[in-house]
Chain A
Amino acid sequence: MIPQLDVAAVAPMIPVALGVLCLPLLEVALLRTPVLLGQRVSAARRGTYLATASVLFLSVSLLLTLNAFSQPPRVFNPENPMVRMDGVALFLMSIVLIGAMLSVLASSKYLEHIHSNWGEFYTLVLSSVTGMMFLVAASDLIMLFLALELMSIPVYALAGFRRASLRSNESAVKYFLIGSFASGILLYGSSLLYGATGSLELDEIATSFDPENALDLVGAGLVLIGLAFKISSVPFHQWAPDTYEGAPTTISAFMATAVKVAAFGALLRVVSVAFAPVSESVYGVLWVLAALSMTVGNVMALIQRNLKRMLAYSSISHAGYLLIGVIAGGADGTQAVLVYLLAYTFMTVGAFTVISVLTRDGEEHDRVDDFAGLSQTRPGLAAVMSICMFSLLGMPGTAGFIGKFLVFSAAVQSGLATGSSSLIWLVVIAVLNSAISLGYYLRVPATMYFHPPRENPQPAGNATFFEGLVLASCAAAVLLLGLLPQDALPGVSSLLQMADVNVLQLASDAAASFAP
């Protein structure tokens, strides 16, 4: 019996997956150009071509994803859905794709500078993106696990992509060991859930979930641990600073954004679909995780000297803020998480890209002190960095603020609806944490603008076109989302013949399409 498969439902994933197949071929073709064209393509050019190709694949995917918004949610297989292409999934896929595109664009030159300009990079990124796209749409634990691994394994390798660098090795080893351990826990949790509820499908788990049964709860707990690891929530976060610091910068950006976005997608889905019957307990757990993540992340970030490491801690704290949105739940909470993730992606990629642009000859200028006087030597970079920092700290007028605002707003609304004060406390904690976060975010513009340039200044020269594109689009997106969230997508919506669509609307619709 052959089920009715709706291949078109997974259309957005196909170009990327195709990319995974094609890129190695393309690379081989490029390597063999002396034979084919009689002319050798330089490594740098090859990188550029491959990056361009990757972006092409990604953008076709993005277009397909955006196109799918206007259609009702589809599933791959009505009998056994595996993936559910609802609004949330599509929205998160778009973010992932955007994050990946930006990271890829930022990488081509950077890889050269860290002497690791191998075409496999793009294959790995694309395969990871494939995993992410499946992850955010996964509607059963099988696909969830599989997609999670497809997302993670290439990233383990990418973290260690700079083979000659011990820091990169270490970063990969730690990420890999701890990540596999967490996958094991997640898998075991899935198994227990399966045993307890008789199914691996999220809907069915929810249906037969017995909140009084320890096995169900243990399973749920173990799955939560596995996902909490991926979103780097305290106390499952400790890999993140080490990994982000050691990994190639653009990969750190990729990890901090796309990986986290996808993991949040999975968490959101699991929590609000599968664990709906125990939402109160689960929210209790997430409450603690959120509070811890915000506090530990921010406090630790305060003492960091290395910018990448600081951003890692910052990403931990942002995971905390995002968890508030998850806890707030409902359409508003989901919408808040979606918009926050979008905003977070732009500002974080922007910040990491600035660091990557400054890399020369294998030397990363990633300590905060390295940025001294950057405003005079590289004013453009300094400006983008400042915009990203102000956005990260939640300054009104930037995307970060809109995200935070929506999250708080969802929390307050949920608090008003349920009459409980616990979410408000969480918001208060978040607010105090934002205050702490000022201490380190502001140091970056302070260093760039208030300190004189150092004696051996940052490498001069211009950013490449790709890098410039990334920086400009990050800065523009951060500002546009911050100032005109309502009008942030007019161009795209007209492109797709969608009436009256904007980011907030999109996220809100997406959230509404979410299974109750």
Chain B
Amino acid sequence: MTEHENAALRWIPLLPLIAAALSGVWLVFARRELPRAAVIALACGAPIASFAISVVQVVKLSTQLPEEARYYVDNLYTWISAGDFHAELAFLLDPLSAVMVLVVTGVGSLIHVYAVGYMDDDPREDRGFQRFFAYLNLFTFSMLMLILGDNLLVMFVGWEGVGVCSYLLIGFWYLDGANAAAGMKAFVVNRIGDFGFLLGIFLLFWSFAQAGVPTVEFREMAANIGLLANNTVELPAWLSFLLGYPNAPLLTLACLCLFVGACGKSAQIPLYVWLPDAMAGPTPVSALIHAATMVTAGVYMVCRMSFAYSLAPGAQAAVAWTGALTAFFAATIGLAQTDIKKVLAYSTVSQLGYMFLAAGVAAYSSAIFHVMTHAFFKALLFLGAGSVILGMHHEQDITKMGGLRRRMPVTWLTFLIGVIAIAGVPPFSGFFSKDEILLAANQAHAIPGHHTLWLIGMATAFLTAFYMFRLYFLVFTGASRASHHTQEHIHESGNWVLVPLVVLALFSVIGGFFGLPDAYGELFGVERSNSLHHFLQPVVNSAEHEIDHATEFGLAAVTTTVGLAGIALATLLYYWREDLVPGIVSAIGPLHALVRDKYRIDELYDLLIVRPLGAVSRGLLARGIDQGLIDGVGVNGTANLVRATADGALKYLQTGLAQSYLLAMVIGGALLVAWLVRGV
């Protein structure tokens, strides 16, 4: 028993699992739902307990272990083993997972609590309330597996597990076919990512095996990554012809494969399409899974594998560029959306892009920092949106809202805080994390075109501020555009809903100070104020850039200005001069339509991939090859041919006339004798 072993870790994921299992088994075998109080206790108790354990363990971790060897491991048993491949079922708590665990269990617990209020009035005959929380707990379990996994395999368990829970929860209201379709879409797109992830695992494992360390364990891989630094993969002729070079660096390839997985999970180009659709799920789900936790798994994975990415500049560049482009691209779509949750969804995609940008430029701690702050404010925003939706009786179209400020004051205030935070207004949390990312991008000399990246980031920051405030104004200010009937029933939500909002709002405000850049810290005389960065650094090995404080503050100022400019524009168009909007929209008509329709990427995918594949499968494979060629020609064809030989030809030799039989005998006999005497 070394100091690093810690059997408490297993309970962090297991508690939600147990809760989920209890609920689930009850659902299967019992005739009726558990008492609602029991459901609530079980469902909320588990994540809260996990959170408590996490806090205790993280405190122990950071206090009892030296900075350079801060990790706890909880090894249960060997999960999969064959030949020289071994994967333990083991959990790892190190600073990186510590931060994530706290975020997931913390924010998760809040959302569980919120969900009690949100799902309260869901009228279901099939015991939906309990089922919902079973799924939610299962999700928490999976997410914790993902985070705490000690090796790629356990991470993959969580990785897929969250995908399934997401699938189940998106399609929670399955009676609407669209919801089920959205869930399926999410899962399938995630699977495309998992395809890459799996290949990445294979590539890494075999490379390490070849180098003599067959492992998929993070720490072991990190320790031995040097062995692979110079490995290259020989590409097949066609690929090397396309790419222009004969072989690719192994780590780059492996990291790219893994990144494909991250793209799927974290909704990056080109696999982002599922996330907006995923808003079909209940709002707490959107908040928990599709904003605060699951979608950041990709970022977490990249940070977790930072030891490999740091040695794979090509992969890093790909990550950074994908992130930046996604951030910008999604932000533009966000400009024209009218569904309150869709706006938030695209903003999530966009913010995830920021995180990848950070990870790509090796600012891993900044990425995690943004993961954390984003979890606070985006969860807040979603929950706020949920509150609005509840208040509006499940109306989600912001063009039918307006003026909710007075009717829902708490929601209004907390939502506003969230909006300010995401827009990057100091000193709200979003400001610090975003600023750090942009700074890192600006300084990432190793990445080709890092200045362009920075510019894109700035542009996105502007757009973000704009569309978030557009959302805010459309929902909360001005006159209500809702129907009379709805208007009469608008009401503030209950305490189950509001308490989490308030807590999250608080963190959205102060969250930034966990990672207050050292430069700011010095202003207040605090040494190493970027505690998060220093906490994480031993694990993630972020790039350090030496820049003077003036530049740092200057860049911050630019960022802030850009954000404020966005706010100003939004205020102009959606608060002061709403009459201008239709004119502008019609002026850029086709472009607006294109953006509103999300650039019709879904349709494009449908046209290019889904339909052709379906047509080929149905027409060519199922009908042509299966029924036509193999069965028709090959199997039945042979059978029919044999039968036809008899029916069409041989049969007519059997004429029924004795003399024709004799004739056959004579001719056959003559041939027989002729053959016998052939040699004489």
Contact = CB atoms under 8 A, between A and B. Distances in A.
Direct contact of A and B (CB under 8 A): yes
Interface of A: 173-174, 177-178, 181-182, 185, 212-214, 217-218, 220-222, 224-225, 229, 234-236, 238-239, 241-242, 278, 281-282, 284-285, 288-289, 296, 299-300, 302-303, 436, 439
A251 B508 CA distance: 100
Contact of A303 (B643, B653, B668, B673): B643
A174 B662 CA distance: 10
Contacts of B209: none
17 contacts: A178-B658, A181-B665, A213-B680, A222-B673, A234-B668, A235-B665, A239-B658, A281-B679, A296-B650, A299-B650, A300-B650, A300-B651, A300-B654, A302-B642, A302-B646, A303-B647, A439-B643
Interface of B: 639, 642-643, 645-647, 650-651, 653-654, 656, 658, 660-662, 664-665, 667-669, 672-673, 675-677, 679-680
Given A214-B680, A302-B646, A439-B639, A239 B673 contact: no
Contact of B665 (A236, A278, A284, A299): A236
B669 A236 contact: yes
Given A217-B677, A281-B676, A285-B676, A181 B650 contact: no
B646 A214 contact: no
A285 B661 CA distance: 20
A143 B675 CA distance: 28
A224 B661 contact: no
A225 B664 contact: no
A282 B655 CA distance: 30
A181 B664 contact: no
B646 A221 contact: no
Given A299-B642, A299-B646, A300-B651, A218 B665 contact: no
Nearest to B675: A285
A177 B662 CA distance: 9
A84 to B, nearest CB: 26
B664 A238 contact: yes
A235 B662 CA distance: 10
B650 to A, nearest CB: 6
A218 B677 contact: yes
B653 A238 contact: yes
Contact of B676 (A221, A236, A436): A221
A219 B647 CA distance: 36
A221 B661 contact: no
A174 B669 contact: no
Contacts of A182: 665
Interface of chain A: mostly helix, strand, loop or mixed: helix
A235 B665 CA distance: 6
Contacts of A185: 669
A13 B102 CA distance: 102
A183 B149 CA distance: 89
Contacts of A241: 654
B677 A235 contact: no
B671 to A, nearest CB: 9
Contact of A225 (B656, B661, B669): B669
Nearest to B653: A238
A221 B677 contact: yes
B635 to A, nearest CB: 12
A212 B646 CA distance: 39
Nearest to A226: B669
Contacts of A436: 642
Contacts of A296: 650
A278 B661 CA distance: 28
A242 B675 CA distance: 29
Nearest to A173: B658
Given A238-B660, A239-B658, 14 more contacts: A177-B658, A181-B665, A214-B680, A221-B672, A221-B673, A221-B677, A225-B669, A225-B673, A242-B654, A281-B675, A285-B676, A296-B650, A302-B646, A303-B643
A222 B676 CA distance: 10
B646 A239 contact: no
A241 B664 CA distance: 15
B642 A225 contact: no
Nearest to A282: B676
A174 to B, nearest CB: 5
A178 B665 contact: yes
B459 to A, nearest CB: 71
Contacts of A181: 662, 665
Nearest to A309: B654
Contacts of A302: 642-643, 646
Contact of B646 (A213, A234, A303): A303
Contacts of B679: 212, 281
Contacts of B677: 214, 217-218, 221
A472 B443 CA distance: 95
Contacts of B643: 302-303, 439
A296 B661 CA distance: 14
Contacts of B645: 299
A229 B666 CA distance: 11
Among A174, A218, A235, A278, chain B packs the most CB atoms within 10 A around the CB of A235
B676 A218 contact: yes
A182 B643 CA distance: 30
Contacts of B650: 296, 299-300
Contacts of A222: 669, 673
B154 to A, nearest CB: 49
Contact of A220 (B642, B647, B660, B676): B676
A229 B647 CA distance: 24
A225 B672 contact: yes
A222 to B, nearest CB: 7
B680 to A, nearest CB: 5
A239 B639 contact: no
Nearest to B668: A235
B672 A224 contact: yes
Contacts of B680: 212-214, 217
B672 A285 contact: yes
Contacts of B647: 303
B59 to A, nearest CB: 71
Nearest to A189: B673
A332 to B, nearest CB: 25
A242 B654 CA distance: 9
A477 B653 CA distance: 37
Contacts of A214: 677, 680
A175 to B, nearest CB: 9
A147 B264 CA distance: 87
B642 A221 contact: no
A174 B661 contact: yes
A282 B646 CA distance: 28
Contacts of B651: 300, 303
B662 A178 contact: yes
A453 B650 CA distance: 32
A300 B668 contact: no
Contacts of A303: 643, 646-647, 651
Contacts of B653: 238
